[in-house]
Chain A
Amino acid sequence: MSKKRLSIKHYALVFIFAYVAVFLISGAFTLDSIQQANRQISNAEYNNGRNTLIGAINKLVKNNRQITEKFSRWDEVKQQLAQPEFYSYWQTHRLYSSGFFPDYFIEAAIYNLSGHVLAKISSSTLPQHLGTAKPEPWFAIENGQAFLFTPAAVIDEIKKKDSGVCFNQKQGSQRTDNTEAVQLS
Chain B
Amino acid sequence: MNTQSPLLFLLVFLLQWLLAPASLAAESKRVYLPLSDKISASADYYPGEVGKPWVMILHGFMQTSRFPTVVHMAESLNDAGYHVLAPTLSLNINNRKKSMACEAIHTHTFEQDLKEVALWANWLYNQSPRHSKRILIGHSSGALHVINYLYQHPEHDFSETLFLSIPYFGPRPYASETPADEQRALQAIKNHDNGLHRFGLSFCKQYTTTAKGFLSYYRLDADDTAGKIRAIKIPKTLIFGSHDVRIDQQWNKNLQQEGVRVIAIKGADHFFNDEFEFELHDVVESVLQADAPSP
Binding site for B on A (CB under 8 A): 75-76, 78-79, 81-83, 85-86, 89-90, 93-94, 97-98, 156-158
CA distance A98 to B100 in the complex (A): 12
The reply to whether B103 and A94 contact each other, CB–CB distance below 8 Å, is yes
Residue of B nearest to A159 (CB): B40
CA distance A78 to B38 in the complex (A): 9
Against A, the Cβ 8 Å flags (1 = close, 0 = not) of B94-105 are: 111110110111
Report if A79-B98 is in contact (Cβ < 8 Å); known contacts: A89-B196, A158-B32, A158-B40.
no
Residue of A nearest to B100 (CB): A75
The reply to whether A78 and B95 contact each other, CB–CB distance below 8 Å, is yes
Q: How many A-B contacts are there with CB distance less than 8 Å?
A: 52
- Chain A residues with CB below 8 A from B98, complex form: 75
The reply to whether B40 and A86 contact each other, CB–CB distance below 8 Å, is no
- Chain A residues with CB below 8 A from B288, complex form: none
Which 6 residue pairs of A and B lie closest in terms of their CB atoms, listed nearest first? A82-B38, A79-B93, A78-B94, A75-B93, A158-B40, A75-B96
- A-B CB contact pairs (8 Å), 11 listed: A75-B96, A76-B104, A78-B93, A79-B92, A79-B93, A79-B107, A89-B105, A94-B105, A98-B101, A156-B95, A158-B95
Which residues from 92 to 129 on chain B have a C-beta closer than 8 Å to any C-beta of chain A?
92-98, 100-101, 103-105, 107
- Chain A residues with CB below 8 A from B103, complex form: 94, 97-98
- Chain A residues with CB below 8 A from B95, complex form: 78, 156-158
- Chain A residues with CB below 8 A from B262, complex form: none
Binding site for A on B (CB under 8 A): 32, 36, 38-40, 42, 92-98, 100-101, 103-105, 107, 195-196, 208
CA distance A98 to B40 in the complex (A): 25
The reply to whether A83 and B104 contact each other, CB–CB distance below 8 Å, is no
* Most B CB within 10 A of own CB, among A75, A85, A156: A75
Chain A nearest CB: distance from B8 CB in Å?
34
CA distance A83 to B103 in the complex (A): 17
- Chain B residues with CB below 8 A from A81, complex form: 38, 94
CA distance A113 to B101 in the complex (A): 26
CA distance A81 to B94 in the complex (A): 9
- Give which listed residue, B94, B101, B208, contacts A82 with CB less than 8 A: B94
The reply to whether B92 and A83 contact each other, CB–CB distance below 8 Å, is yes
11 extra A-B contacts, CB within 8 A, seeds A75-B93, A98-B101: A75-B98, A75-B100, A78-B96, A79-B92, A79-B104, A82-B38, A85-B107, A86-B196, A94-B104, A94-B208, A157-B95
- Chain A residues with CB below 8 A from B40, complex form: 158
CA distance A80 to B107 in the complex (A): 10
- Chain A residues with CB below 8 A from B101, complex form: 98
Residue of A nearest to B101 (CB): A98
CA distance A96 to B95 in the complex (A): 23
- Chain B residues with CB below 8 A from A94, complex form: 103-105, 208
CA distance A86 to B104 in the complex (A): 11
The reply to whether B104 and A156 contact each other, CB–CB distance below 8 Å, is no
Residue of B nearest to A78 (CB): B94
CA distance A175 to B35 in the complex (A): 49
- Chain A residues with CB below 8 A from B39, complex form: 82
Chain B nearest CB: distance from A36 CB in Å?
49
The reply to whether B93 and A82 contact each other, CB–CB distance below 8 Å, is yes
- Chain B residues with CB below 8 A from A157, complex form: 95
- Chain B residues with CB below 8 A from A158, complex form: 32, 40, 42, 94-95
CA distance A90 to B107 in the complex (A): 12
- Give which listed residue, B36, B94, B107, B208, contacts A156 with CB less than 8 A: B94
